[in-house]
């Protein structure tokens, strides 16, 4: 008996424990692990540079995070109903998921749209669909986030025009459009045009928002998809913030004053399953961004220094097996995001490894956030884990790893150049493969997948049938029959001309949208001018 105990203790001493990112974790942390930290220089109170402990002085005592559930499926009419349901049940803001034809700038009748219409988001083909999507939802009453990238400029134009029709000026519109094309090349791969013209579209949009939309976050620089593609926590942090640097650099190079646009840059991170590593990542994000903006870009406005971010729990961590376990995973990940000081949060639904979520599943996801906010007590004090030897050391480590990636990418000539060389893509691919192998070797346990498995009954899911596609095609045909074709043709011609020149693309896009040009038509005009990007198929 004694021998067995000794063997167990010996095993605990020699076994290597790692985080989900493969980071080795020490058995105990002591004061010396956090000894180099200077409170004022490295942490600061919440609301104080370098914002390691949070961007607001009062954090959640002043205002809870925004509970923002990503939603969209089927037709604009169906999603409009889901939006109203979410708002009625305590959601604070809207977040639109578009279907793949919309994300790729294809009309529903394009051959590649086969089977995709309304499936993983809502189908929006023209301003007409956007009008339906927000019917009965006053745009000066809600904030809206739109997850769209290559065709972001068109969707922003649709949103502005819906506001206009409701009598809400664009100066009053509040929300975010993702418009982060770099992470598309890096991870999610919903790109249309080559990297450089794609960056020009982003710069045009940031300039437009800076000049006309003071309450709008012009971009949401996203690590979420980088992480979902299989990166480590430090890679997610490094590539996201380095993408941010790239956008700032391009805007500065285009002649914009850094403090004119930087306060409206926002970020979007993943909250994965390794609890402390995630909290440290969020804290490191704020410190790195604050120092980068102050030191590298000489920003003077404190708002330019603040890394404000949205968080979504990790979709990739959800299992199709024993789906109710996903409620627990999501709750832990949501708690990490809150302890990490997020400004808004989406919690995934338990059935998302199987399909788009049902209303019932979405409700549990929203209630998860409400339980954290109302019952757990974690909102009472800011950055409750600040000063933990372990969390401070982890924050330093992840920061150092990210800064090392910055050096490598700077040496390549920046993120666009690194993307063109496939550098971040390869790093992520390798990390994803290694994680898969560690699961298959059972070094990493996923409950219900490679341990604690059992037979189970299938779950009832949301099912989108093909009728949605037929109806969407019919709606577009009807639209084309009633609009002013000459005006559309002229607007598309003007868009092409602007793309070949240097004028801001937002203005001709607004005009074409007003004329009810379809998204596919506008994107095709830009395809003619910019060409299409094809990624070298390596694995």
Partner 1 sequence: MGKIRVVIAKPGLDGHDRGAKIVARALRDAGMEVIYTGLRQSPEQIVAAAEQEDAGVIGLSILSGAHLPICRRILGLLGEKGMRDVRVFVGGIIPAQDITELKQLGVAEVFLPGSSTEDIVRLIEGTASAR
Residues contributing to the site for partner 1 (CB under 8 A): 100-101, 103-104, 106, 111-116, 119-120, 184, 188-191, 228-230, 316, 318-321, 353-356, 429, 432-433, 436, 439-440, 446, 449-450, 458, 461, 463-464, 466, 534-539
Q: Give the C-alpha separation, 495 to 497, whole Å.
A: 5
Minimum CB distance to partner 1, residue 77 (Å): 19
Minimum CB distance to partner 1, residue 526 (Å): 17
Query: Pairing mode, if any, of strands 219-222 and 309-313?
Result: unpaired
Minimum CB distance to partner 1, residue 342 (Å): 24
Cβ-contact 41, 294 below 8 angstroms: no
Minimum CB distance to partner 1, residue 350 (Å): 13
Per-residue H/E/C for 170-192: HHHCCEEECCCHHHHHHHHCCCC
Comparing CB distances to partner 1, the nearer of 321 and 370 is: 321
Minimum CB distance to partner 1, residue 410 (Å): 27
Comparing CB distances to partner 1, the nearer of 134 and 224 is: 224
Comparing CB distances to partner 1, the nearer of 184 and 204 is: 184
Minimum CB distance to partner 1, residue 109 (Å): 14
Give phi and psi for 271, each to the nearest 5. Answer: -115, 110
Residues forming beta bridges with residue 219, ordered by sequence position: 265
Cβ-contact 246, 417 below 8 angstroms: no
Minimum CB distance to partner 1, residue 271 (Å): 18
Q: Give the pair of three-digit tokens for residue 52.
A: 């390691």
DSSP annotation of 378:
G
DSSP annotation of 447:
B
Cβ-contact 329, 364 below 8 angstroms: no
Cα of first residue to Cα of last residue in the chain, in angstroms, is: 51
Minimum CB distance to partner 1, residue 513 (Å): 22
Q: Give the C-alpha separation, 442 to 399, whole Å.
A: 29
Comparing CB distances to partner 1, the nearer of 17 and 433 is: 433
What 3-state DSSP class applies to 85? helix
Comparing CB distances to partner 1, the nearer of 370 and 429 is: 429
Minimum CB distance to partner 1, residue 436 (Å): 5
Comparing CB distances to partner 1, the nearer of 142 and 432 is: 432
Minimum CB distance to partner 1, residue 460 (Å): 10
Comparing CB distances to partner 1, the nearer of 27 and 537 is: 537
Minimum CB distance to partner 1, residue 321 (Å): 6
Residues 6+ apart with CB under 8 A from 13: 27
Q: Give the C-alpha separation, 220 to 249, whole Å.
A: 16
Query: Pairing mode, if any, of strands 216-217 and 219-222?
Result: unpaired
Comparing CB distances to partner 1, the nearer of 46 and 230 is: 230
Q: How many CB atoms lie within 10 A of CB 17?
A: 10
Sheet bearing 93-97, strands edge to edge: 216-217, 175-177, 144-147, 93-97, 66-71, 344-346, 309-313, 265-271, 219-222
Q: How many CB atoms lie within 10 A of CB 64?
A: 18
Comparing CB distances to partner 1, the nearer of 38 and 539 is: 539
How many residues appear in the chain? 539
Comparing CB distances to partner 1, the nearer of 354 and 515 is: 354
Q: Residues 227-259, buried b or exposed e (16+ Cβ, 10 A)?
A: bbbbbbbbbbbbbbbbbbbbbbbbbeeeebebb
Comparing CB distances to partner 1, the nearer of 111 and 377 is: 111
């Amino acid at each position: 008996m004694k021998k067995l105990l000794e063997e167990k203790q010996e095993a605990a001493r020699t076994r290597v424990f790692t985080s989900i990112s493969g980071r080795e974790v020490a058995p105990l942390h002591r004061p010396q692990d956090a000894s180099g930290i200077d409170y004022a220089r490295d942490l600061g109170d919440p609301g104080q540079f370098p914002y390691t402990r949070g961007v607001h002085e009062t954090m959640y005592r002043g205002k809870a995070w925004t509970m923002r559930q990503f939603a969209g499926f089927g037709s604009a009419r169906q999603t409009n109903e889901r939006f109203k349901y979410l708002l009625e049940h305590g959601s604070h803001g809207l977040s639109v998921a578009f279907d793949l034809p919309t994300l790729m700038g294809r009309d529903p009748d394009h051959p590649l749209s086969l089977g995709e219409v309304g499936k993983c988001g809502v189908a929006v083909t023209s301003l007409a669909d956007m009008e339906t999507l927000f019917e009965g939802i006053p745009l000066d009453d809600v904030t809206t986030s739109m997850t769209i990238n290559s065709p972001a400029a068109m969707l922003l134009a649709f949103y502005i025009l819906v506001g206009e029709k409701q009598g809400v000026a664009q100066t009053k519109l509040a929300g975010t459009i993702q418009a982060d094309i770099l992470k598309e090349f890096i991870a999610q791969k919903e790109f249309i045009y080559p990297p450089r013209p794609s960056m020009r579209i982003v710069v045009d949009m940031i300039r437009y928002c800076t000049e006309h939309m003071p309450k709008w976050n012009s971009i949401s620089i996203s690590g979420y998809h980088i992480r979902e593609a299989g990166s480590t926590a430090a890679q997610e942090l490094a590539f996201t913030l380095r993408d941010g640097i790239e956008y700032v650099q391009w805007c500065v190079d285009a002649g914009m004053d850094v403090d004119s646009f930087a306060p409206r840059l926002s970020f979007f991170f993943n909250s994965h399953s390794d609890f402390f590593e995630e909290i440290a990542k969020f804290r490191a994000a704020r410190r790195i961004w604050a120092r980068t903006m102050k030191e590298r870009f000489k920003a003077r406005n404190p708002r330019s220094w603040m890394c404000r971010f949205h968080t979504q729990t990790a979709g990739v961590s959800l299992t199709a097996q024993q789906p109710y376990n996903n409620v627990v995973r999501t709750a832990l990940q949501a708690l990490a995001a809150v302890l990490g000081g997020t400004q808004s949060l989406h919690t995934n639904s338990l059935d998302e490894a199987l399909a788009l979520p049902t209303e019932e599943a979405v409700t549990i996801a929203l209630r998860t956030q409400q339980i954290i906010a109302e019952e757990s007590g974690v909102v009472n004090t800011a950055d409750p884990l600040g000063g933990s030897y372990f969390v401070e050391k982890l924050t330093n480590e992840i920061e150092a790893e990210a800064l090392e990636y910055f050096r490598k990418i700077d040496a390549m000539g920046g993120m666009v150049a690194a993307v063109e060389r496939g550098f971040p893509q390869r790093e992520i691919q390798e990390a994803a493969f290694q994680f898969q192998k560690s699961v298959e070797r059972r070094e990493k346990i996923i409950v219900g997948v490679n341990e604690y498995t059992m037979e189970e009954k299938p779950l009832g899911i949301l099912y989108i049938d093909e009728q949605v596609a037929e109806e969407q095609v019919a709606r577009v045909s009807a639209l084309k029959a009633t609009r002013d074709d000459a005006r559309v043709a002229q607007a598309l011609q003007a868009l092409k001309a602007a793309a070949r020149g240097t004028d801001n693309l937002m203005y001709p896009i607004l005009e074409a949208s007003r004329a009810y040009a379809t998204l596919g038509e506008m994107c095709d005009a830009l395809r003619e001018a910019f060409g299409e990007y094809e990624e070298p198929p390596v694995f």
